Structure 1
């Protein structure tokens, strides 16, 4: 299961979070752990360079894209290989929505569309869509014309 998708700015403030199957009392722990992990390790890495960690029998794949940090947490079949695929789809969708690697301001300007993209990529803890063109069609909120 895909436990969490979290996007934070360079100061560690959370911009978007999606938790699946994580009890409310554990969410604060995960937020602070992921932000600390990012502040310790993401300084000086290139855009879309993936870093991997393991904590409490779950896998964490994280990267930086422009001014935002992206964290994906999974367990069981969502190992580091599948999480790297998930984070690749998310970064492609972010670049597509923003037109480039997002600054924090651009990210917040496109916040609604980014949230729609995240909902189309991950649904109830499962990877739903990976095709960039299909995600683009789904977030337009128009009925599909082709199947």
Structure 2
């Protein structure tokens, strides 16, 4: 299961978060843990260079994209390889929406469309859509013309 997808700015403020199957009382722990993990390890990392961590029997894959950091947390069948695929789809969708690796301002300007993309990519803790073109069609909010 994909437990969490978080996107934070360079100061560690959470811009977007999606938790699945994580009790409310544990979410604060995960927020602070991931931001601290990023603050310690993401300095000097190139855009979309993946870093991997393991904590409490879950896997974490995270990266930098422009001025934002992207974290994906999974367990069971979502090991580091599956999370790498998920984070690739998420970063591709964000780049497609923004037109380039985003600054924080550009990210916030495109916030609604980015949230729609995240909803199409991850559904109830499962990686739902990975095809860029399909995601683009689904977030247009028009009925699909072909399957």
Which of the five TM-score ranges fits, normalised by the shorter chain?
A: over 0.9
- 1:54 corresponds in structure 2 to 54
What are the equivalent positions in structure 2 for 1:77-116 lying under 5 Å apart? 77-116=77-116
Calculate the TM-score normalised by the size of structure 1.
1.00
Gap runs ≥5 in structure 1: none
3-state secondary structure, aligned to 2:146: coil
Describe the superposition over 1:38-96 as per-residue Cα deviations: whole angstroms up to 9, x where unpaired: 00000000000000000000000000000000000000000000000000000000000
- 2:22 corresponds in structure 1 to 22
Equivalenced residues, count: 147
- 1:76 corresponds in structure 2 to 76
Q: Does 1:143 align with 2:143?
A: yes
- Whole-Å Cα distance in 1 between the matches of residues 134 and 54 of structure 2? 32
Gap runs ≥5 in structure 2: none
Q: Does 1:120 align with 2:120?
A: yes
Q: CA RMSD in A?
A: 0.2
